[in-house]
Structure 1
Amino acid sequence: MATYLVGSRASNLAKAQVREYLRPLRERLPGVTFTHRVILEGGDKDRKSALSAVSAVSGGSAFSSEQEAALARGDVDVVVHSLKDLPTSNRQGLTLLAPPGREDVRDALCGSTLAGLRKGARVGTGAPRRVAQLLAVRPDLDVVPIRGNVPPRLKKIETMGLDAVVLAVAGLRRLGLDDAIGEVLPLDLFPPSPGQGALGIQVRTDDDSAPLRALLSTVGDAAADAAVRAERALLAELHGGCSVPVGAYGETLPNGELSLAGQVTSLDGRVRVAETVTGPATEPEKLGASLATLLIDQGAHAILGEVRAALSSR
């Protein structure tokens, strides 16, 4: 009987994602044992420093570097990430498999609706993309930086006297916290982080891992894979990451083509460029690169340069 070790972060959401991923595999493969192993990340150990500083210390992502290192060493056989937390380039010897479908990609406002927020309302979020998109729609808001796992961030509405917080719908649903959603934010104004709602299934590329890759490929979803590959290609072409205000959403159309929308917004919300392209779903990386070119022509690089300068000075 084959046994495989599955790594993830320690949060309740990470554990829920592992259960979600393994459920169909265990049903299809009763002769295979999957054992879960928790791996602490820099962003989980250090809850006070800015994520950019934590990422700099880890030499990668604050929420994926330790898991990738464990996978590369052979401490685990596969890692289940939140795809939006992963850098757009794979560590040498590692690769991403197709995700098993995708949860709702949208963001949610918890504690209120946009229209229900008073002038000057205090809204909590630590993501530059969400800060920028909120201020683009409601420049009167006082956006308060917060960090932590999903339930603690929800509690900050009470503990910090906030009017609302912004969280991913996918995380709320995976934790059974749908009732906390005050309003699901529209995709045209609040496009999500590339990969949001999808699981990042990472494995080694060596020959010994070939049997596992074959097993895991049985639950991969081609449409979700094409969408997230296009989104991540856009982000890579813009030289972005988790800490820049880039939103993207790929969607397979009824005719089989792939539509990709992208948006880049300044931190104060005053400047926003957006475009949508359509092309073959079989060439998602090309579609992401072509959208990046259109956004760059509209000034995306200048916006992101100012964002990086502002974030590095904090």
Structure 2
Amino acid sequence: MGDVVRIGSRASKLARCQVTEWLTPIAEQFPGVTFKRQIILEGGDQDRVTPTLAEVAKSAGGSAFSSNQEAALVTGRVDVIVHSLKDLPTSLHQGTLLLTTPGPREDVRDVLCGSTLAGLPEGARVGTGAPRRVAQLLALRPDLKVEPIRGNVPGRLARTKGALDAVVLAAAGLNRLGLTPEVREVLDPALFPPSPGQGALGIQVRVDSPAAKLLAQAGAPHIDACVRAERALLAELHGGCSVPVGAWGRVGADGLLHLSAAVTSLNGAEQVSAAGEGPVDDPEKLGACVASDLLAQGAAGILSSIRTP
């Protein structure tokens, strides 16, 4: 690698903003290193055919938004990948690891654009490509007609100008793109727990690579603990980034790590939730404990029914 670090990311404007967000303080910390960006197209970026929600949920376990980047990392085309952590499977490619999650973490919450939830008329059409968001919406508003959508953030926002009454998006992406004025309602994470890792960046490197050694001390430990608890819960449930699992970790005023989570059926009819707290230095244990509580309440049955044809 020498004094050059090659950074890979997806091609979207949001992905480029995320690289800038991570790279700005890193470049100041390592003024003698040259950082070069490289765009890597993913299957999800190139596939413009929108799958049904059931098809997305049944494909859980892999990711259409990370596999090509991981391949580029493993083969040495790039040294670092900057991901939206919520898009990254819990099982990483062999020989790679995640660095300590950088901070600050963006807003973890989901938002509605086009209308508020209460302002949507009966039978309103709401767009989202995420089974978790579909399930959580229908749990509160079973009358809604949820339509799967795919594409970049501006394209999805444009659907509210006629085809749809509202769309659900991540606050983090809108904030990073300067599109916060489009938000009509911020959804309460107690009712709409976000995707594990939402709002956080995932910095993936090869194990024992020069980049891993160089950047080993970068990151925010408390934010890292939150997302590690969320991802540990998801791993215990054998879920991927396309299943209706929400998890929200945060460090409280008491200094403890708090984690709340929910698993919801795609039609919104069934939902189990759990919460717990524990020491910040053992986030995986907390994630496993809250996952065990969810499983005891029937989460496995909900998830298996989604994956079963």
**RMSD of aligned alpha carbons:** 1.9
TM-score of the aligned structures, taking structure 1 as reference length: 0.93
Q: Which runs of 4+ in 1 moved over 4 A?
A: 51-57
Q: 2:150 aligns with which of 132, 147, 152?
A: 147
* CA apart distance, 1:280: 1.1
* CA apart distance, 1:53: 6.6
Matches within 5 A, 1:136-175: 136-158=139-161, 161-175=163-177
* Residue in structure 2 matched with residue 119 of structure 1 by the alignment: 122
Matches within 5 A, 1:81-100: 81-100=83-102
Deviations 1:237-282 (A, max 9, x none): 0010111100000111223211010100011111111011111111
Q: Is the 8 A contact 1:107 1:169 kept in 2?
A: yes
Is 2:30 the counterpart of 1:23? Answer: no
Deviations 1:95-152 (A, max 9, x none): 0011112100000000111111111111000110000000011111111111111111
Rate the CA distance shift 1:123–1:55 in 2: closer, same or farther, 3 A: closer
Gaps of 5+ in 1: none
Q: Is the 8 A contact 1:43 1:54 kept in 2?
A: no
Rate the CA distance shift 1:263–1:55 in 2: closer, same or farther, 3 A: closer
Q: Which amino acid aligns with 1:268?
A: N
* CA apart distance, 1:43: 0.5
**Residue identity (%):** 63
* Structure-1 separation of matches of 2:22 and 2:113: 26
* Residue in structure 1 matched with residue 277 of structure 2 by the alignment: 278
Deviations 1:22-63 (A, max 9, x none): 000112222111110000001111120538879999x93100
* CA apart distance, 1:214: 3.5
* Residue in structure 2 matched with residue 237 of structure 1 by the alignment: 236
* Residue in structure 2 matched with residue 247 of structure 1 by the alignment: 246
Q: Which amino acid aligns with 1:137?
A: L
* Residue in structure 1 matched with residue 80 of structure 2 by the alignment: 78
* Structure-2 separation of matches of 1:218 and 1:177: 32
Q: Is the 8 A contact 2:57 2:242 kept in 1?
A: no
Q: Is the 8 A contact 1:103 1:197 kept in 2?
A: yes
SS of structure 1 residue aligned to 2:44: helix
Gaps of 5+ in 2: none
Equivalenced residues, count: 306
* CA apart distance, 1:71: 0.0
Q: Which has the higher contact order (CA 8 A, sep 6+)?
A: 2
* Structure-2 separation of matches of 1:261 and 1:255: 16
* Residue in structure 1 matched with residue 66 of structure 2 by the alignment: 64
SS of structure 1 residue aligned to 2:6: strand
SS of structure 2 residue aligned to 1:261: strand
* Structure-1 separation of matches of 2:56 and 2:76: 24
Q: Is the 8 A contact 2:58 2:307 kept in 1?
A: no
Q: Which amino acid aligns with 1:9?
A: R
* CA apart distance, 1:213: 2.1
Q: Is the 8 A contact 2:109 2:187 kept in 1?
A: yes
Rate the CA distance shift 1:150–1:240 in 2: closer, same or farther, 3 A: same
